[in-house]
């Protein structure tokens, strides 16, 4: 597909993508999409009748300060909007291109558009769905011969996290403080974490609501998934080690998690659907899938020390996940948990089988025993103040690239 809107070669945002996000421009927020390096204000197109198949009330969703009202219209509507935008932007269609007055209002260079949080996140669940990551952590902290806990291959392990501390790419995060016990038999101390880590994750956003007590069948789960973002779940490993028994992470993961600004729809990712790993034993009936439900999305993490250029430290793939998004959502709701529009469900750290595909500093440096060497000659076992973590994600094959842009944050010193 070719667009009359200029699209640089290798762009994350060709005409086949049509992501959705929230921008602020001249003091007003609204729904936008992106083609190449051009951001398009959808409220302008709606006002001038280019989305006329929608009703008056539906057209108002493009002026909302978050995507929730738009994605809450359901897939039948959001798919139609996406197809209509592709038609308007397609090379040879002059309906919009000939309206210079509308284009001047609607089109903004990406450098002039201020990105905002794409959705209001009401609830947030973090899963633990990479078997390689779970095995690595089990080897480091438990019995190497029995790295996985007995339940891991039977259900998508997860916990409910803190939605209020999920922030947009570009937001710096202060080093958290908390209790740690540096030595197993030593005293408990309080202070800034000394083991600050990133976690390479993806997350999906729901587009529907269900009543309390109901559940979503695994074969219907994708009907409730609008799209995906990159997710960096920062973690304080020393705080986590001390606090997680018996109820799991708390302060160690609630001080800041970062998402990318553009939500990439499942429709855009459809060409990259693949089979996931073989699941042994076979899941219980409510988790069984008959069709491919993973997606071949390439992931890369770069670490940038203050004053240095970024250095790639990890390459992984979303397709490595043992438990699919559909299985995660089916399990989340099987006991009767209700979902809402805009809920966010993170994958858990995504690691591969090779050391350079491990999705956290904990694994890459193997609990601090194998330091990373950076271009300036310094070493890292965990993140230092001034370090920036940059995560990229894209799917690519046969000349088609669907990307997510970047998810970036910088570590600031702990506050007093």
User: So which residues are the catalytic ones?
Assistant: 133
Preceding omega of 203 cis (within 30 degrees of 0): no
How far apart, in Å, are the Cα atoms of 127 and each of 11, 14, 53? 30, 31, 38
Query: What are the phi and psi torsion angles at 311 (to 5°)?
Result: -125, 125
Task: Give CA–CA dist 320/340, Å, rounded.
Answer: 27
Return the residue matching tokens 């937001």: 171
- Residue partners of 194: CB distance under 8 A and separation at least 6: 180, 238, 382
Question: What is the C-alpha separation between 161 and 379, in angstroms, rounded?
Answer: 31
Peptide bond into 28 cis (omega under 30): no
Q: Contact, 389 vs 372, CB < 8 A? A: no
Q: Which residues contact 370 (CB under 8 A, 6 or more apart)?
A: 364
SS3 content of the chain, % helix, strand, coil (to 5): 25, 30, 45
φ/ψ of residue 185, rounded to 5: -105, 10
Secondary element (H or E) of residue 373:
strand 372-373
CA proximity to 253, closest of 153, 137, 166, 359: 166
Distance CA 375, CA 305 (A): 9
Q: Judge contact between 6 and 36, C-beta under 8 A.
A: yes
Return phi, psi of residue 338, to 5°.
-85, 150
């Amino acid at each position: 597909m070719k667009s009359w809107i200029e699209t640089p070669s290798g762009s994350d945002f060709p005409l086949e993508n049509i992501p959705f996000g929230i921008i602020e421009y001249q003091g007003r927020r609204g729904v936008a999409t992106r083609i190449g390096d051009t951001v398009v204000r959808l409220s302008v197109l709606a006002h001038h009748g280019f989305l006329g198949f929608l009703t008056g009330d539906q057209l108002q969703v493009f002026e909302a300060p978050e995507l929730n009202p738009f994605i809450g219209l359901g897939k039948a509507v959001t798919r139609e909007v996406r197809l209509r935008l592709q038609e308007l932007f397609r090379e040879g269609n002059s309906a919009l291109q000939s309206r210079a007055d509308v284009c001047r209002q609607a089109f903004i260079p990406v450098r002039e558009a201020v990105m905002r949080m794409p959705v209001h996140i009401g609830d947030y669940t973090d899963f633990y769905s990479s078997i390689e990551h779970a095995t690595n952590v089990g080897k480091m902290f438990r019995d190497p011969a029995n790295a996985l806990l007995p339940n891991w291959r039977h259900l998508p392990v997860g916990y409910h996290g803190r939605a209020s501390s999920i922030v947009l790419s570009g937001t710096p995060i202060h080093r958290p403080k908390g209790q740690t016990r540096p030595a197993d038999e030593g005293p408990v101390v309080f202070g800034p974490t000394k083991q600050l880590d990133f976690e390479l994750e993806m997350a999906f956003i729901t587009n529907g609501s269900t009543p309390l007590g109901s559940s979503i069948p695994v074969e219907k789960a994708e009907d409730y998934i609008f799209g995906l973002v990159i997710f960096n779940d920062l973690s304080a490993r020393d705080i986590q080690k001390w606090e997680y028994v018996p109820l799991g992470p708390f302060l160690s993961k609630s001080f800041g998690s970062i998402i990318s600004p553009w939500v990439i729809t499942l429709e855009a990712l459809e060409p990259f659907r693949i089979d996931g790993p073989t699941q042994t034993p076979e899941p219980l009936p409510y988790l069984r899938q008959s069709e491919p439900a993973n997606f071949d999305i390439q992931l890369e993490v770069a670490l940038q020390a203050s004053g240095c250029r970024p250095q790639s430290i990890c390459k992984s793939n979303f397709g490595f996940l043992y438990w699919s998004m559909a299985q995660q959502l089916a399990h989340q709701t099987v006991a009767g948990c209700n979902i809402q529009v805009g809920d966010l469900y993170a994958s858990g750290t995504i690691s591969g089988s090779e050391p350079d595909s491990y999705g956290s500093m904990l694994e890459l440096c193997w609990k601090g025993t194998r330091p990373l060497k950076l271009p300036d000659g310094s070493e890292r076992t965990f993140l230092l103040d001034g370090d920036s973590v940059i995560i990229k994600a894209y799917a690519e094959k046969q000349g088609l690239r669907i990307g997510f842009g970047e998810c970036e944050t910088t570590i600031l010193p702990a506050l007093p």
